[in-house]
Structure 1
Amino acid sequence: MRLFPILIAGLVCVALFFVVLEREALLGFARDMTGEAAAAQGTPPEEEVVAEPVAISDTATDAASDPVHVVAMRSVAREVPDAVMVRGQSEAAREVVVMAETTGTVVSEPLRKGAFVEADQLLCELDPGSRGATLSEAEARLAEAQARVPEAEARIPEAQARVAEAEARLQEARINQNAASRLSEGGFASDTRVANADAALRSAEAGVTAASTGLETMQAGIKSARAGVQAAEAAVERARLDIEKLRIKAPFAGLLETDTAELGALLQPGTPCATVVQLDPMKLVGFLPEAQVDRVAVGAMAGARLASGVEAQGEVTFLSRSADDLTRTFRVEVTVPNPDLEIRDGQTAEILIETPATVAHMIPASALTLNDEGQLGLRIIEDGLAGFTPVTLVRDTVDGVLLSGLPATVEVITVGQEYVTDGVPVRATFAEPEATQ
């Protein structure tokens, strides 16, 4: 049963051998067979026809030089608003975890998350405990320290009088010592008198020193009393601040992201009381690539569409000067008003940032074509001949595409651009009037 397929395969191989490798021999065999058949029928074999070159007629040349009919439009460049689009997310303008600064038990009713609080509104109140007594004690010490100052100041005149008295005695002792010395030189005073005068002078000098030291001590006492007053005032201030820290208030108007501390809870320094979030205004944060960061400036207008469909407008308030180490992108922040609190923290957003206007042409997208090198461009008309010019796509719109890289005025082939090449003469029918800026 398998012999027949093997036989067919062999015949096919033989046929392929003669068709591919022995083609000339096969064709010669066929011609011989054809000649024999013609001789048997009395018909002379066909003679080999030798092709001769035929001259191209003037008519064909004229037909090749006829211009190709195309449809074109005249376009004039105009300034069009431009923008950069980035993807980002919404971010609260401010978010603070309000913490306790002192130790105490909560004695206020808690506020529930989602509630709106005003600036300086009470969030948590702590039990004062013995802080009132501490304040009273500090105030009493302050009064005591303040009373010591006049007492110390009252001793100054007495000390000054003692100094004056000591200086007068010193002057008298100097006069006596001088007189005794001169009398001793003339033989009118004994050595004992001179020695007594010298002793009196030294005693007077010591009295002046002692009186001056007493005056300085009194002055130091005044300074000490005043320092005691300052220390007592600091103690009073600390006690008052500690009492003020018992009332934990909202730093700004916003929403409570968490409940405030529960009644009876013990708070210590660093323990959270509540989290307050400010959502008006709202920040929209995105990241610009290196190629587009120079096109954006602080103060530029921007618009955004959130994933929820909410649209917002604002302006750029921050543009980073340093790139992210991993993504090599630059952080940009857009501040938008959010009076109705429609925008939530952390929503995905498409941000469109306005950039300086771009000079471009509005061309139908169907007019775009590719050259032999694969460049995107347009077929244009120059002096009646078709040409190609590469373009840069600015952006796509409903009415067409905005293109840059073209002359200020250009004639663009919109229909038939695929049937002409560079240098081909064309005859254009302009479908649209010249564009105006």
Structure 2
Amino acid sequence: MRLFPILAAILVSALIYVFLFERDRLFPADAPTGAEMAETGTVEAEAAPGQTPVGVVVLKSSARTVDSAVILRGQTEAIRHVDLRAETAGQVISEPLRKGTFVEQGDVMCRLDPGTRMASLAEAQARLAEAQSRVPAAEAAVPEAEARVEEAKARVEEAKAILEEAMINSNAATRLSQDGFASETRVASTQAAVRGAEAAITSAEAGLKSAASGLESVAAGIEAAKAGVESARAAVAAAEKEIERLTISAPFGGLLESDSAEIGSLLQPGDHCATVIQLDPILMVGYVPETEVGRVEVGAAALAEMASGEQVQGKVVFLSRSADPTTRTFRVDIEVANPDLALRDGQTAEIVIASDGKHAHLVPQSALTLDDEGTLGVRLVTEDSTAMFQPVTLLRDTPGGLWLAGLPDEADVIIIGQEYVIDGVRVAASYQTEDEEPAQ
């Protein structure tokens, strides 16, 4: 039972001897320490003369122009959609149209019972005729009223002339009386004539005012008759409009999305008659993030792939200038031809909008790495056969690899072994071209 403790003590003593007295033989001075290996996370070493190069696989890549398209999710939307509703009350007297029916612009969706509306229109038309007949009668009174005014003016002028003659006679009689050539009776007679002429002028002016007032009354009567005509016309127009509202027609050609109102249904103002949508052309609606909105332009070509795999082409017809307050994205509408109505309202799609091309390199996904600060990039082989980290920008992820920007036109990208080297480490590169199958 005491044999195991003795053997354990002998083994521990041997290990202590080895680490204390044989350390230099086990661990050469130029070998990296455990702390250094932990810090780099690899078994790599600083480049030094005589160091053995690290074997890596390098892709000789040339920059190519790639379409940096904007990719987003969206859905189809009818370019026109309208819910037809009643504007007046009435019972439906037309046969219903079933959903899925194709309609043309002007086709009747619902027709309502006119009721007494035709009688109301006839009454309004009769009142219009009566009002129109009053206008000539009112206008006929104008010449007579104008003649009375002219006659009154003539009387005023005549009275003024008589007054002037009476004043002349009165002045002459007064002077003759002062010289003793005329009697007092004559003076009194001429003065009485003056007062009579003044009274005649006052009466004539009153007659003129009365005639002018009569003319104004005739003019007011004409205006009232014309106003009556306009009121009657408005009543006729309202009655005709009410009759027009009895027929609810399709405002454009399209497809019935719902049955029209059933015959015998009583519709009130605002009640639903039918829903019409237009699907040719159809819209692809997506939302672009604010980081990408500057790359989208109205008129740009677009490609949409439906969930079923079908692909359709169109162009951008609208780009919102106002962001959605919740998602901070901008609406973009793409118009797509849909003559056979194969696309339906509400289908989801992946939309690709063409943008200006950029120079980029196509490299395998495995070539990406991170530096100590967490920057995304790749490692390149320099002219002196050492490794160098190069930050990149990811443009697009495709089944064939990643399109990266930020590299020189000609680049030697390490695609295998980049995790085992750091900047300055010498490498032994095994090159492959872009046409070759990537090494595994």
- What TM bracket, shorter-length normalisation? 0.7 to 0.9
Partner residue of 1:245? 245
SS of the aligned residue for 1:190 comes to helix
| Pair 1:86–1:150, CA change in 2 (3 A) | same
**CA positional deviation for 1:389:** 0.8
1:53-76 residue CA offsets vs partner (Å, 9 max, x unmatched): 9999xxxx9983465565534433
Partner residue of 1:409? 410
SS of the aligned residue for 1:141 comes to helix
Query: Between Structure 1 and Structure 2, how many residues are aligned?
Result: 399
CA distance in 2, matches of 1:139, 1:430: 97
Partner residue of 2:108? 122
Partner residue of 2:207? 207
CA distance in 2, matches of 1:49, 1:420: 31
TM-score (norm 1): 0.82
| Pair 1:330–1:238, CA change in 2 (3 A) | same
| Pair 1:294–1:24, CA change in 2 (3 A) | farther
**CA positional deviation for 1:227:** 1.3
Partner residue of 2:422? 421
Partner residue of 1:431? 432
Runs of 5+ consecutive residues of structure 1 not aligned to the other structure:
1-7, 32-47
Do 1:69 and 1:427's aligned partners in 2 also have CA atoms closer than 8 Å? yes
**CA positional deviation for 1:220:** 1.4
CA distance in 2, matches of 1:136, 1:50: 122
| Pair 1:49–1:237, CA change in 2 (3 A) | closer
Partner residue of 1:155? 141
Give 2:119's match in structure 1, choosing from 133, 139, 163. 133
| Pair 1:294–1:151, CA change in 2 (3 A) | same
Partner residue of 2:62? 76
Do 1:310 and 1:343's aligned partners in 2 also have CA atoms closer than 8 Å? no
1:204-262 residue CA offsets vs partner (Å, 9 max, x unmatched): 11111111111111111111111111111111111111111111101111111211111
CA distance in 2, matches of 1:49, 1:68: 30
Deviates more, 1:320-329 or 1:193-202: 320-329
Residue type of the alignment partner of 2:79: A
2:111 is the alignment partner of 1:110:
no
Partner residue of 1:364? 364
Partner residue of 1:268? 268
Partner residue of 1:219? 219
Partner residue of 2:73? 87
Partner residue of 2:156? 170
| Pair 1:296–1:15, CA change in 2 (3 A) | farther
Partner residue of 1:42? none
Residue type of the alignment partner of 2:379: R
Give 1:96's match in structure 2, choosing from 82, 86, 109. 82
Residue type of the alignment partner of 1:319: L
SS of the aligned residue for 2:424 comes to coil
| Pair 1:362–1:172, CA change in 2 (3 A) | same
SS of the aligned residue for 2:133 comes to helix
Runs of 5+ consecutive residues of structure 2 not aligned to the other structure:
31-46, 174-186, 436-440
CA distance in 2, matches of 1:74, 1:423: 19
Partner residue of 2:168? 182
CA distance in 2, matches of 1:97, 1:63: 82
CA distance in 2, matches of 1:75, 1:318: 39
**How high is the sequence identity, in percent, across the aligned residues?**
52
2:328 is the alignment partner of 1:342:
no
Partner residue of 2:33? none
TM-score (norm 2): 0.81
Do 1:379 and 1:389's aligned partners in 2 also have CA atoms closer than 8 Å? yes
CA distance in 1, matches of 2:81, 2:28: 90
Do 2:61 and 2:433's aligned partners in 1 also have CA atoms closer than 8 Å? no
CA distance in 1, matches of 2:359, 2:11: 71
